[in-house]
A and B are shown apart, each in its own frame.
Chain A
């Protein structure tokens, strides 16, 4: 899993840098595109991912102490935060499409859809994996001393959060 995480981080890192280069080439276009993004929704999404990370970390902590049900509840909280993020993003995408801003509109929107869309898919995969962890933890498949699989899913979730920590200021905040 750490190998996958490493590859994902390198891929996203490269995309972030290409975004910054493209922004330097067409500053007015990027400024106008960024002005059309909702900063409040972006900040709310950041808070959701960070709260999800906290829940997932507490879930792993509880499992190590042998508190399986508490662990399942915390992990469910993490999955719920992820689901909230996905719902909020779907609303954002709906409005973007209603404005006629799709992948082929201009360079800014191509990057917007590529970066946030790729990230969205990673959050969706992480939510799915967390849901499986909740289900199997409730069935006592894991417990104190058997935490490797939930820890691996947690690491993937935290990576998705880490990527957003760079994506949010780059795309939404610094205009």
Chain B
């Protein structure tokens, strides 16, 4: 009930912008080199997008803390493990 339609529109623009950035990084070829930062940037964008979807679209900001912690925790855990594996075993 607390999320206004204008806020939803702004979030959509931010999400599309973040996707365009991810696409540009992939297209530039940087995301396929043995560099640590492009992967970090791409997954940081994923975290930001995921948080917007979970907190605002799924409305977990107002939900019981357990659900909010589960979804945000899932997102963080998956991204940290994937990046950790990428930077250690390749």
Residues B82 and A57 in contact, CB atoms below 8 Å apart = no
**Which residues of chain B (29-54) have a CB below 8 Å from chain A?**
31-32, 38-39, 42-43, 45-46, 49-50, 53-54
Binding-face segment, A42-50, A87-95, A113-121, A130-138: A42-50
Report whether A9 and B46 are in contact in the complex, using a CB–CB cutoff of 8 Å. Answer: no
Task: Tally chain A residues at the interface, Cβ within 8 Å.
Answer: 47
Partner pick for B9 among A6, A25, A54, CB 8 A cutoff: A54
Query: Given A169-B42, A173-B31, are A6 and B8 also a contact pair (CB < 8 Å)?
Result: no
A57: chain B residues at CB < 8 Å are: 3, 8, 56-57
**Contact between B12 and A175, CB atoms less than 8 A apart:** no
> A122 an interface residue at 8 Å Cβ cutoff?
no
In the complex, how many angstroms separate the beta carbon of A22 from the nearest chain B beta carbon?
A: 10
> B5 is contacted by which of A31, A43, A58, A161 (Cβ under 8 Å)?
A58
Can you list 5 A-B contacts with CB-CB less than 8 angstroms, sorted by A residue number? A13-B74, A21-B85, A47-B19, A154-B58, A174-B26
